[in-house]
Amino acid sequence: PVQGLGWVHRGTSFPALLLYAGVLLVPVSGYALSRLNMRQIPTRPRRLLMLSGAALLLLVASASGRPALVLSGALLAALIQTCCKQAPGNIRPALILATMGVFLFFIPEIVYVRDGYDADIFRLNTVFKSYIQAWVLLSLALPALLAQWLPDALKRRSVIAIMVLVSIAHPAALVVRFDFANAGLDGLAWMHVEDRAVVEYLGVLNERAIVLEAKGEAYGESGRIAVASGIPAYLGWVNHELVWRGGSIAPELNRRQAVVEKVFSQTDPLAAAALMQREGIDLVVIGPLERRLYPAPALQTIERAGRTAFESGESRVIRFP
């Protein structure tokens, strides 16, 4: 859960910001520059003013050690100025969207939302949640801004073509990594055939139940049955529970981890059954993952302690009343 706000002491590196959002921020910057409205200044002083401004901005960005903050802040200021002072009515909605988008790139450089993550990735959630929205807002605003900035269709299309070409690296990199041999829309095709059968059985169970399966690290196979079937897990991904619920949940998580270890190392069927009843566990899955991680005698103890409700190959769903 949210644990308050913190000041950012280490921001986004500028090349990283350009890599992620340069395709949007550069055209927006071009638009903002074009709106500075310096036409009344003679050519030579105007060029000098712009050059001096750019040099000074770069110097401040470097010397501050926070170039992403300084440059996004400068862009934000320019957009706000344009929005408030110069924008005709029909462009103002797009300008507001663009300003909000740039704001969402700017604000994670100043504050972040505290959560359970450590010092190395302290801004992770703030950044990716903020940046995703910023991308959407800027993408919506850019067509209108480009139309005003580049009334010449050829120039505008050239800029758009460059933006598309630059952006294509992201989807192209994904496509290159596709496993076309296993292409399809079945999101559970990766599952072991026995696990798949267990999931299909559990998926049509019309009852409130808690399922216990092997414990493991996040982003791995642990929690697979609960995720695929919809039956709540006794214990899923521990770190995610900590992030979502906060540090106060840690004692309960530690307790449940110990219970899972105890269940999968039990040799007394009566003790195992008592443990399930005390913890409110209705179903235990013994599948390929459990057979790989836990000793066979413990798994046999669980089978003797309960009743086999479903089997597929060597996999079992053991029910406890």
Partner 1 sequence: MKRSQRIAAAWLLLIAFSITLHLWQLDARTFHSDEAVHAKLAYDFAVLGNYRYDPTYHGPLLYFLTAFIYWILGDSDFTARLGIALCGIGMLWIAWRIRRPFGGSAAWWAGLLVTISPLSLYYSRFLRMDMLEMLTASAALLGLYAAFRWSDRYSDWKWVGIWGALAFATKENAYITAFLLVVTLILVAFTFGFRSYFEMALRAARDKKYGLAIAVGWYIICVLLLYTVFLKYPDDWSFTVRAVRHWAYQHATERVGGPWWYHLLPLLQYEFLILGAAAAWVFRRRQLRPVEVGLFLFGMASLVMYAYLGEKVAWLGVHQIWAFIPLAAAQLARTFGPRGAWWSRTLAGAGLLMTLLASLTANFVLSEISPNMDRVESLHYVQTSPELKAIVDDIRAQSALGEYPAAIVVGDATWPMVWYLRHDPVRWSLSGVKTRPPVVILDPEQEQSLCGQLCSDSGYRRALVPLRSWWLPQQESPGIYGLLRYLVTRKPWIEVGTRKVLVLQRACDARITCTLGCCR
Q: Residue numbers of the site for partner 1 (CB under 8 A)?
A: 13-15, 18, 44-45, 47-48, 51-52, 54-55, 58-59, 61-67
Q: Which is nearer to partner 1, 9 or 255 (CB)?
A: 9
Q: How far is the CB of 65 from partner 1 (least distance, A)?
A: 5
Q: Which is nearer to partner 1, 108 or 236 (CB)?
A: 108
In order, the DSSP letters of 98-115 are HHHHHHHHHGGGTEEE--
* DSSP three-state, residue 88: coil
Q: Which is nearer to partner 1, 14 or 112 (CB)?
A: 14
Q: Which is nearer to partner 1, 62 or 265 (CB)?
A: 62
CA distance 311 to 318: 9
CA distance 93 to 105: 19
Q: How far is the CB of 95 from partner 1 (least distance, A)?
A: 27
CA distance 120 to 10: 10
- Contact criterion met (CB below 8 Å) for 283 and 207: no
Exposure class string for 199-225: b at 16+ Cβ within 10 A, else e: bebbeebeeeebbbbbbbeeeebbbbb
Q: How far is the CB of 125 from partner 1 (least distance, A)?
A: 24
Q: By C-alpha distance, which of 82, 81, 61, 62 is closest to 72?
A: 61
CA distance 195 to 130: 37
Q: How far is the CB of 45 from partner 1 (least distance, A)?
A: 8
Q: How far is the CB of 135 from partner 1 (least distance, A)?
A: 21
Q: Which is nearer to partner 1, 48 or 188 (CB)?
A: 48
Which pair of tokens denotes residue 305? 């302690």
Give CA torsion, residues 44, 46, 52, 55, to 10 deg: -110
Q: How far is the CB of 88 from partner 1 (least distance, A)?
A: 32
Q: How far is the CB of 11 from partner 1 (least distance, A)?
A: 10
| Segments of 43-153 assigned E as strands | 111-113
Q: Which is nearer to partner 1, 55 or 218 (CB)?
A: 55
Q: Which is nearer to partner 1, 18 or 209 (CB)?
A: 18
